Structure 1
Amino acid sequence: SLSSAPFAILICTWRIPIMTRAQRFHPLDPLSAAEIAVAVATVRAAGKSPEERDSMRFVEAVLLEPEKNVVALADAYFFPPFQPSLLPRTKGSAVIPSRLPPRRAKLVVYNRHSNETTIWIVELSEDAMEYAECEATVKNYPPFVEAMKKRGVDDMELVMVDAWCAGYYSDADAPSRRLARPLIFCRTESDSPMENGYARPVEGIHVVVDMQNNIVIEFEDRKFVPLPPPDHLRNYTPGETRGGVDRSDVKPLIINQPEGPSFRINGYFVEWQKWNFRIGFTPKEGLVIYSVAYVDGSRGRRPIAHRLSFVEMVVPYGDPSEPHYRKNAFDAGEDGLGKNAHSLKKVICSVLGV
């Protein structure tokens, strides 16, 4: 989504310490290497098939220059020499925003498979940028590079770094610091950009990253564990079955609605049989259902629930060994169910009635 205005500062009386992070990029700064990597990965992931994704050639990736009012806002409050006089005069007190709108990248992409050239606009979220910066911080750390060479990996482009939350195991993980304990994986030397690198975890390396300052604060090559051997079935794509032949014993399943769907949608209001409700969406929870009611005969519209949502999904991996004992993901609170949701229309999937 494209933001049109910055958020306003809210004054809250709750005594919850919140670590703010300064704006790292002026709206007119050229795209960083991490931003370009995020933008390219975002566009490639939007491809409908492996063939389409592999055929993408990125002709250009540049900053989509912001509106003048965003630049004026940045120069007024976020970057020296701080010139509030640059902003237009308004009646009453000015509302100082807490942050600038997300930066955006413009990419020109040529697809050899379809022989088409398209222009993409990608919003560079803070979360996506932090993941990319954490990976760059680890891969540029000399002791880590040496540890990977011991495992036979010289090309850092094959290395994947996933920034997992640190959790809280002792006072060293104090909530006053923003820490990550990355997990490491390594692709093989394949020409496929969609290769499943998670099939080859890199174990025995302990690393902690200070996300506030983008530095490695702990590193230890604790144990040499050989990398899993390459497996040509690792991507789970058609043709990668044992023997090279896909299964043919599953009969086709065809679902159709010749008279149309049984539900009606008016904006965000949904009616389905005797049920009706409103739908919403948040970055953390994803889908939210409001004002659920049931038309109950002579009783009329009977309220059932005011608000329903998937508040959290905790995934404890349950393995006491290193590093798996710390895998206790809070998928909503830490990563955001809504931020990681994908439209079914963008994949090869029939969405009946929509």
Structure 2
Amino acid sequence: MTATHPLDPVSAEEYRATRDILRTAGLLGDATRFAYAGLDEPHKGDVLAYQSGDPVARSVRAFLIDVTTGDLDDVVVSLDRGEVVSQRRLDPVRDGQAPILDQDFVTADEVVRADPRWGAAMARRGLTDLGKVRACPLTAGSYGLDGEAGRRLVRVLAFVQEHEKDLAWAHPVDGVVAYVDLVARRVLDVVDAQDLPVPGESGDYDDPAVAGPPRTTLRPIEITQPEGPSFTLDGTYLEWQNWSLRIGFDAREGLSLHQVCYDDGGRRRPVLYRASVAEMVVPYGDPTPARFFQNYFDTGEYLVGKFANSLELGCDCLGDITYLDATVADDHGEPRVIRNAICVHEEDFGVLWKHTDIFSGSAQTRRQRRLVISFFATVGNYDYGFYWYLYLDGSIELEVKLTGVIWTSSHPGGDYPYAPEVAPGLGGPAHQHLFSARLDMMVDGLSNAVDEVDVRGVPVGPDNPYGNALVRDVTRLRRESEAARLAAPDLGRVWRVVNPDSRNRLGQPVSFVLHPQPAPTLLADPSSTVYDRARFATRHLWVTAYDPAQRYPAGDIVNQHPGGAGLPEYVAADRDIDGADIVLWHTFGPTHFPRPEDWPVMPVERCGFRLVPVGFFDRNPTLDVPAPAGGHCHTGGHDHAGSDHAGSDHAGSDHGGSDHGGHDHGAGHEHGGSAHAGHDAR
């Protein structure tokens, strides 16, 4: 497939062409693996200047590792010129190691099975059949331990799986960990610090003996779109209800949104140039010798996009669904297509606005609707759903849904502070999920600035004799050094992205406001290595000047990096951000002390943020939304007593019981070049 736009995701043909160019350049040997490959995005200025029909320049960036020597190269290939345009050999001590390969999971398992110390540690726990022991290789971090400098490592914990259907996470083998050198293919050390019983209770939620008989009282919810969806999709270019954008996908970040604009009375107004979740770190809080190292950068170390699920109609997605496939590169640089990786659909979202006027007698209700663009990924035990929402009123929201199986440990008994007991003898170590959204802002153009806005009550005084006054304190963040900020829920703190060169009809600068969901930032001690490696997670907000090379908040290479990369380096330049081309980096996510209710599979936990227009429009932009059709909505002063439930606030919304909300339909057919689930085929 030939790219028709500079931001089109890399196609299967382009991945194959990349392999050919690298082979011709002598950079592909029998032991070479692709730890990452993806679009090397052009400079923003070049993309904004692009016109349909212009030549499309395309480059692919790849991390190449020789699995026999550990040599790591960061290369960029020009597909247009058919040549390697840059190559940099990385120093593993200074720069870190390549992301985890698919084959590393197999390698680690083979290595520990062959090690007598590992076998002896299992035997001491009565586990003589290593065929039932599931080795779980985990990223090693960077701790300065003897003999580890420059080595490509994983640390291996274990679980018991008694039979093929057994949930292994229910049976952790606690107190023992193997340190494995993936290049040398040997165990460096086995730490056998604590002998705790392996929990025996089944967690197999597929087993009726565990789950119980299925409920028979849930009646079907069916909501249809008999005329089809209200959006159009041309390749990856999407238009819906005044919104337009391009959908991107990458093995590292997963889903991304590009050139998000709003058509305001025929004027195409940019809001975001690019939006993605550029990193996520999961630091665990159990300090025991076998677990102190547990902190995982699921984006930079594991490449969350590689683990995208193929979504299924009626399970992951319910309704009139349009699917997009995603193409990533495997360990050998060959393309791997993930069918139905991205889900696009509309869903009802309750009341948009409503008023019954006591003077005119007018009684009007309009319903909110949102466009959903989403994907789900499974990284080890956890499953993450990333949902971008666009609303009729010009708002944008990101919601992350966390589910899957919690990480487990043996519980030592008593009131163990680091891992609540979730089942008999089974602990759920405390941890955080800290996401970093990279928001390349473009509110009505490239000249943007950020105001921090707090609210407070005014003390009684001559101008406030009754003490009821409320005011806002507005602080302009002028340089990068001033713009590493914490949320303040007691002050109602938000961050307003303004364009000082664009005014609304009231003379105010137009803006979009970032509303955070305040939660703790990284709780690890400032002297810890994870703190230094995940410094992005120590603030809720960072603001930087745009630089096309600054894509990732923890740096380009994350695995085993010693720390200090990414945002700490970016802001050290202390650039001017007042009326500049700026990027916001927003940290959000829950701190999780697991509950018994989270076991054996965790109900969805939600987190995220909103971007809300404030003065961007001259008035409510949804006055033209028509009243609901079908006779369910009474207007014009009619009696509302005993109104039809079909028009209730929650009809068809996400609260109706499905992650994707919507409508139960039959088999898909091709629609606009993507798999599209059709209308009711029962």
Task: Normalising by structure 2, report the TM-score.
Answer: 0.33
* Aligned with residue 131 of structure 1, among 87, 105, 111: 105
Q: Deviations over 1:199-225 (max 9, x none)?
A: 111111131011121110111322211
Q: 1:348 deviation in Å?
A: 3.9
Aligned to 1:237: 206
Partners of 2:21 and 2:82 within 8 A in 1? no
Aligned to 1:316: 283
Tell whether 2:31 aligns with 1:24: yes
Aligned to 2:195: 224
Cα distance 1:96–1:208, how it changes in 2: closer, same or farther (>3 A)? same
Q: 1:349 deviation in Å?
A: 3.6
In 2, distance between residues paired with 1:201 and 1:166?
19
Select the structure that is richer in strand.
2
Cα distance 1:273–1:93, how it changes in 2: closer, same or farther (>3 A)? closer
Partners of 1:260 and 1:353 within 8 A in 2? no
In 2, distance between residues paired with 1:173 and 1:260?
62
Where does 1:23-42 land on structure 2 (aligned, <5 Å)?
Answer: 23-24=30-31
Cα distance 1:289–1:128, how it changes in 2: closer, same or farther (>3 A)? same
Deviation above 6 Å: which 4+ runs of structure 1? 92-98
* Aligned with residue 136 of structure 2, among 162, 172, 175: 162
Tell whether 2:247 aligns with 1:279: yes
Aligned to 2:365: none
In 2, distance between residues paired with 1:94 and 1:307?
28
Unpaired runs of 5+ residues, structure 2, are 1-10, 34-80, 88-98, 323-682
User: Which structure has the bigger radius of gyration?
Assistant: 2
Cα distance 1:173–1:297, how it changes in 2: closer, same or farther (>3 A)? farther
Q: 1:93 deviation in Å?
A: 11
Q: Secondary structure at the match of 2:143?
A: coil
Cα distance 1:148–1:312, how it changes in 2: closer, same or farther (>3 A)? same
Cα distance 1:341–1:155, how it changes in 2: closer, same or farther (>3 A)? same
In 2, distance between residues paired with 1:271 and 1:93?
34
In 2, distance between residues paired with 1:148 and 1:170?
27
Q: Deviations over 1:50-74 (max 9, x none)?
A: xxxxxxxxxxxxxxxxxxxxxxxxx
Partners of 1:238 and 1:246 within 8 A in 2? no
Q: 1:142 deviation in Å?
A: 1.3
Deviates more, 1:317-326 or 1:151-160: 317-326
Cα distance 1:222–1:325, how it changes in 2: closer, same or farther (>3 A)? closer
In 2, distance between residues paired with 1:225 and 1:288?
44
Q: 1:167 deviation in Å?
A: 0.8
* Aligned with residue 155 of structure 2, among 181, 184, 199: 181
Cα distance 1:93–1:202, how it changes in 2: closer, same or farther (>3 A)? closer
Task: Normalising by structure 1, report the TM-score.
Answer: 0.62
Q: 1:271 deviation in Å?
A: 1.0
Select the structure that is richer in helix.
1
Q: 1:283 deviation in Å?
A: 0.6
Cα distance 1:326–1:249, how it changes in 2: closer, same or farther (>3 A)? farther
Q: 1:4 deviation in Å?
A: 2.4
Count matched residues.
248
Tell whether 2:170 aligns with 1:196: no
Q: Deviations over 1:16-63 (max 9, x none)?
A: xxxx9963389xxxxxxxxxxxxxxxxxxxxxxxxxxxxxxxxxxxxx
Q: 1:195 deviation in Å?
A: 2.7
Q: Secondary structure at the match of 2:221?
A: coil
Aligned to 2:306: 339
Cα distance 1:240–1:314, how it changes in 2: closer, same or farther (>3 A)? farther
Where does 1:67-82 land on structure 2 (aligned, <5 Å)?
Answer: none
Q: Secondary structure at the match of 2:279?
A: coil
- Greater RCO (CA < 8 Å, at least 6 residues apart): 2
Tell whether 2:162 aligns with 1:215: no
